[in-house]
């Protein structure tokens, strides 16, 4: 694994990397299940799928119980409930407030590159008072491509005026690492994030792996 040298910017995936959104996403999914007269799922069952988005969560809960035609209406209801309860329990992962403060003190720009659509990303960032602190926020519908395509990361680097080679990208999904590598950024797996137990992390070929957010400080 290569080391992160001369890091001028740190970019984060959102769900499962920078913010622990699983409690609110799980609450929205379980609300939808209850509306359909079905038993709820425990957080530990839902958590590994959160980074994969709303459709993956709906399929987790309903694929064996509802027809294909019923899936999209369920997804829309799930997302509507989630939007109206988007930050009731979501928080920065433990340690990240200190990490962000350190980056800001060292004049190292930080930002977010997520596949979450802007109509969900923006209110979540605002609710946690992160909007003004983030140098750039790229959502899933900001650019013409989404991760694993590198365009969102390249766009973020260009916006903050830092070469991709001097950016570090942190994520908890294989798509994050694929996008980061294609953009020639130093890639970091957030092992504490929403990763399924059977993931072969070595096969992601990331440059670094952290088990706690504060370990990022050792890379800059």
Using DSSP, state whether 194 is helix, strand or coil.
coil
CA distance 99 to 8: 14
User: Whose CA is closest to 194, among 175, 177, 171, 165?
Assistant: 171
DSSP letter, residue 127 = H
User: Whose CA is closest to 125, among 146, 145, 111, 115?
Assistant: 111
- For the record, the structure tokens of 87 come out as 């930050």
In sequence order, the 6+-apart residues with CB closer than 8 A to the CB of 105 are: none
Backbone angles phi, psi at 100, to 5 degrees: -65, -40
CA distance 142 to 140: 6
Q: Tell the burial category of 121 from Cβ atoms under 10 Å away from its Cβ (0-12, 13-18, 19+).
A: buried
- Active-site hit among 13, 15, 20, 24: 13
Would you call 13 a catalytic residue per the annotation?
yes
CA distance 58 to 36: 12
Active site (catalytic) residues: 13
């Amino acid at each position: 694994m290569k080391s992160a040298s001369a890091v001028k910017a740190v970019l984060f995936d959102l769900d499962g990397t920078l913010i622990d959104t699983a409690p609110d996403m799980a609450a929205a999914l379980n609300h939808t299940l209850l509306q359909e007269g079905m038993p709820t799922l425990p957080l530990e069952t839902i958590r590994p799928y959160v980074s994969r988005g709303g459709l993956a969560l709906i399929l987790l809960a309903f694929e064996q119980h509802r027809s294909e035609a019923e899936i999209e209406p369920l997804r829309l209801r799930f997302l509507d409930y989630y939007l109206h309860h988007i930050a009731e329990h979501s928080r920065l992962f433990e340690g990240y407030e200190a990490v962000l403060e350190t980056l800001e003190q060292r004049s190292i720009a930080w930002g977010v590159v997520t596949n979450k659509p802007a109509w969900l990303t923006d209110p979540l960032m605002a609710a946690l008072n992160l909007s003004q602190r983030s140098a750039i926020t790229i959502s899933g519908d900001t650019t013409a491509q989404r991760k694993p395509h590198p365009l969102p990361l390249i766009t973020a680097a260009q916006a903050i005026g830092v070469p991709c080679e001097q950016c570090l990208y942190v994520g908890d999904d294989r798509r994050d690492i694929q996008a980061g590598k294609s953009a020639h950024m130093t890639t970091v797996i957030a092992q504490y994030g929403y990763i399924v137990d059977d993931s072969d992390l070595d096969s992601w070929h990331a440059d670094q792996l952290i088990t706690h957010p504060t370990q990022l400080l050792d890379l800059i």
